[in-house]
Amino acid sequence: MPQKIAVVIPAGGGGTRLWPRSRQKTPKQFLDIVTPGVSMLQETAARVCPNLVASDHLYVITNKRHIPLVREQLASTPSVNFVGEPMGRDSAPAIGLMAALLERRHGAETVMVALPADHVILDPAAFRDTLRVAIDAAVNGSLVTLGIPPAGPDTGFGYIRRGSALADGDIPVYNVAQFREKPDRATAEAYVASNEYFWNAGMFIATVGHFRSLYKQHLPEMEPAIAQLVDAAGTDSEEEVFAKVFPTLPKVSIDYAIIEKADRVAVVPAHIGWNDVGSWTRLAEIQANQANADANIVTGELRAIDARASLVHAPGKLVALIGLDNLIVIDTEDALLIADRSRSDEVKKIVEQLQTEGRSDLL
Amino acid sequence: MPQKIAVVIPAGGGGTRLWPRSRQKTPKQFLDIVTPGVSMLQETAARVCPNLVASDHLYVITNKRHIPLVREQLASTPSVNFVGEPMGRDSAPAIGLMAALLERRHGAETVMVALPADHVILDPAAFRDTLRVAIDAAVNGSLVTLGIPPAGPDTGFGYIRRGSALADGDIPVYNVAQFREKPDRATAEAYVASNEYFWNAGMFIATVGHFRSLYKQHLPEMEPAIAQLVDAAGTDSEEEVFAKVFPTLPKVSIDYAIIEKADRVAVVPAHIGWNDVGSWTRLAEIQANQANADANIVTGELRAIDARASLVHAPGKLVALIGLDNLIVIDTEDALLIADRSRSDEVKKIVEQLQTEGRSDLL
């Protein structure tokens, strides 16, 4: 593929639903949540580099304080580019800044592929094949998103309704008819039954020029700030200018501010073994194939008496479970989570409570 | 009370049912299981010293390797006597050795009070009053045991059936009609309904001369060994002689070998707030009055969402419980127990499994 491509990995999220492993110092994308010894960011980078882009066309944008950690994790991939945000302002400013930066460095015709740092993709080769189709569609003028064929009527994702076919290769491309917010259960069931909907995985592909024109159209008030940031990036004044400009940026998601307002949006069905690891419950589903004879999924050592179907993470420790099924057990040095497996989403409430209490030592 | 008294605290037990806190290096009697910062042995000693005996009449007999720990725990009580066993041979040899040692040091007329190191007694003053009655009965020729008025039809204790009254002061004394092994549930219910039974708490009181004559009668084959041990105790040859003689001693309990075979056995009802902390489940019962509004009993910090009636021990750690009731959670540096509250007895099986595996690091 002769087309110039750059991959941008926004890695600024917090990931509080994977507390107590995910902390402000080390959000989930920097942890080996899925594969022992390999962080989710490292897996994300390895999926596309060097097989889709060279490392000098790979960009990671994350909170400034995580840059040393990111550099360390990607040390074996030299020439990767890092952009540090002095504070998180959600995804629209981050992607907007990256589009402007890539325009200057690589040209408006470069295709920008934006990939979240905290997803599971079990079939990287299929993923790259799907991305290549999306990139072609982007070159042909579409803003492209990957659509995950729903595994069920999940209410935790936004949905994308496909419209008419744009291209019908082995991997087809559809126009997007509509984006839908996270639905209630009945609506999700109707979506799945219709066979017209995909999960929105938050992966976006378009030429840099296309992104830039969308930002100019839908977020024109941000343009002066973006120009200041791009001028300062990589210079001695970067730190000072970023620190001054970032607080003025709108805190808004790219989905809301750009994608859902754009015309010529396309979706490529992505049969790639995708999951988002949005909770311990979901991780237990993803790792079901690693379960032992009692259906327990264990990091560390487990001795179980009449105890089944739990996710146990306690490296370096022996855990004894007696007479209890369907638990989430996550042990760390200073915090221990024990939750009913169906209710691990409520970890959010624990984190909120600790925030209210000002317990930054545990966040 | 002009009577000479000596208190003997056998502290050699293992206490595997309180794993993972109770370990071979630090069995439960040396841990602050009930009162933060105070070990059960320290509590046992403080109940009788100095209010019943001076410290030079207090004896602790335990495994030799625990003597440094015991000395440290009782450092603020100088002049306490320590006897180290090179190996555990159950209670009959330990008490037999102590009776012979006390005979030589303090005389046959001394009353020996043997008190396990791992009991909870919530009313120490009532306990001492009860002991004084028992000591009087011992001086008058009885082998005396304390009888715990049953709180319910517990199948985890041996029972004592009282016979005729020997003395009827504020605290009466009865002849013992019968000792009974741990009963099944129906039998226990019948015992409790009859109002004639007490729990056997394993506390024995008799003059040293009385104990000596019982041992000569019922364990005569042990006498030469006992004589060797007493001759060596406190001399330069103690270590050598103990190491040689102990392996030859019968491994048998004082209940089986002596008490149940004796005549003139008396029982004193002991309304003293007694419990034996034989399991985490029982500790949770004992500490019910320390429970928070959600009925959780916590050492460490707990944040609970829809989670009640659990015993949580995790000092220095924050535990988050979500959607789970009636747990036992015991966290230590290298092992974590999570059990259904009604099934903590099965910790024994975990310990047995670890023994089978040769996991001495966790025992």
Give yes or no: residues B270 and B315 share one domain.
no
Asked whether the beta carbons of residue A323 and residue B343 sit closer than 8 angstroms, the reply is yes
Residue A1, pLDDT score: 46
C-alpha A86/C-alpha A246 separation (Å) is: 7
Residue from A23, A299, A318 to probe the interface with B (highest B Cβ count within 10 Å): A318
Identify whether A157 is part of a domain: yes
- CB atoms under 10 Å from CB of A257, counted, come to 21
Q: Does residue A3 sit at the B interface (CB-CB below 8 Å)? A: no
Identify whether B28 is part of a domain: yes
What tens-digit pLDDT sequence spans chain A (363 residues)? 457 999 999 998 877 899 999 999 999 999 999 998 999 999 999 999 999 999 999 999 999 999 999 999 999 998 999 999 999 999 999 999 999 999 999 999 999 999 999 999 999 999 999 999 999 999 999 999 999 999 999 998 999 999 999 998 999 999 999 999 999 999 999 999 999 999 999 999 999 999 999 999 999 999 999 999 999 999 999 999 999 999 999 999 999 999 999 999 999 999 999 998 989 999 999 999 999 999 999 999 999 999 999 999 999 999 999 999 999 999 999 999 999 999 999 999 999 999 999 999 999
Q: Does residue B342 sit at the A interface (CB-CB below 8 Å)? A: yes
Give yes or no: residues A127 and A53 share one domain.
yes
Q: Which of residues 307-336 of B touch A (CB under 8 A)?
A: 314, 316-324, 327, 329, 331, 333-336
Q: Does residue A125 sit at the B interface (CB-CB below 8 Å)? A: no
The minimum CA-CA distance between B135 and chain A, rounded to whole Å, is 44
User: Measuring CA to CA, which residue among B311, B316, B299 is closest to residue B347?
Assistant: B311
Identify whether A168 is part of a domain: yes
Q: Does residue B237 sit at the A interface (CB-CB below 8 Å)? A: no
Residue located via tokens 């103990």: B242
- CB atoms under 10 Å from CB of A159, counted, come to 25
Domain, as residue range, for B72: 5-275
Identify whether A177 is part of a domain: yes
Give yes or no: residues A240 and A351 share one domain.
no
Nearest-by-CA chain B residue for A333:
B317
Q: Does residue A337 sit at the B interface (CB-CB below 8 Å)? A: yes
Of B275, B306, B328, which marks where a domain is finished?
B275
Q: Which amino acid is at A192?
A: V
- DSSP H helix total and E strand total for chain B: 11, 15
Give yes or no: residues A161 and A251 share one domain.
yes
Residue B242 structure tokens: 């103990």
Residue spans of alpha helices (H) in chain A: 40-48, 67-73, 91-106, 124-139, 185-194, 208-218, 223-232, 238-245, 254-257, 280-286, 347-356
Identify whether B331 is part of a domain: yes
| C-alpha R_g of chain B | 21
The Cα-based distances of A152 to A23, A115, A225, A270 in angstroms read 30, 23, 42, 15
Q: Does residue B360 sit at the A interface (CB-CB below 8 Å)? A: no
Of B212, B242, B275, which marks where a domain is finished?
B275
Contacts of residue A140, defined as CB under 8 A and 6 or more positions apart, other chains included, come to: none
Residue B125 structure tokens: 């003053």
What tens-digit pLDDT sequence spans chain B (363 residues)? 457 999 999 998 877 899 999 999 999 999 999 998 999 999 999 999 999 999 999 999 999 999 999 999 999 998 999 999 999 999 999 999 999 999 999 999 999 999 999 999 999 999 999 999 999 999 999 999 999 999 999 998 999 999 999 998 999 999 999 999 999 999 999 999 999 999 999 999 999 999 999 999 999 999 999 999 999 999 999 999 999 999 999 999 999 999 999 999 999 999 999 998 989 999 999 999 999 999 999 999 999 999 999 999 999 999 999 999 999 999 999 999 999 999 999 999 999 999 999 999 999
Residues of chain B positioned with their CB less than 8 A from the CB of A338: 319-322, 324, 327, 329, 338
Of B218, B241, B275, which marks where a domain is finished?
B275
Identify whether B203 is part of a domain: yes
C-alpha A132/C-alpha A270 separation (Å) is: 11
Q: DSSP secondary structure string, B103-135?
A: HHHH-TTSEEEE--TT-EES-HHHHHHHHHHHH
Residues of chain A positioned with their CB less than 8 A from the CB of B322: 337-340, 343-344, 346-347, 350
Is the Cα torsion angle A284, A290, A292, A294 positive or negative in sign?
A: positive
User: Measuring CA to CA, which residue among B74, B50, B79, B54 is closest to residue B62?
Assistant: B74
What residues are paired with A321 via a beta bridge? A304, B338
C-alpha B328/C-alpha B321 separation (Å) is: 12
Residue B1, pLDDT score: 46
Residue located via tokens 């007479």: A323
Give yes or no: residues B23 and B73 share one domain.
yes
Q: What is the ipTM of this complex?
A: 0.89
Task: Give the predicted TM-score (pTM) of the model.
Answer: 0.89
C-alpha B333/C-alpha B350 separation (Å) is: 17
Nearest-by-CA chain A residue for B317:
A334
Residue A329, pLDDT score: 98
C-alpha A166/C-alpha A140 separation (Å) is: 11
Which CATH number fits the domain that encloses residue B241?
A: 3.90.550.10
CB-defined contacts A:B, below 8 A: 120
The Cα-based distances of B177 to B10, B192, B195, B262, B322 in angstroms read 26, 15, 13, 11, 52
Out of A321, A324, A336, closest to residue B319 by CB: A336
Give yes or no: residues B184 and B81 share one domain.
yes
Q: DSSP secondary structure string, B267-279?
A: EEE--S-EE---S
Identify whether B33 is part of a domain: yes
Give yes or no: residues B208 and B293 share one domain.
no
What does the pLDDT look like over B212-259, one tens digit per residue?
Answer: 999 999 999 999 999 999 999 999 999 999 999 999 999 999 999 999
Domain count of the fold of chain B: 2
Residue located via tokens 């099965």: B346
Q: Does residue A358 sit at the B interface (CB-CB below 8 Å)? A: no
Give yes or no: residues B307 and B250 share one domain.
no
Give yes or no: residues B258 and B327 share one domain.
no
Q: Does residue A304 sit at the B interface (CB-CB below 8 Å)? A: no
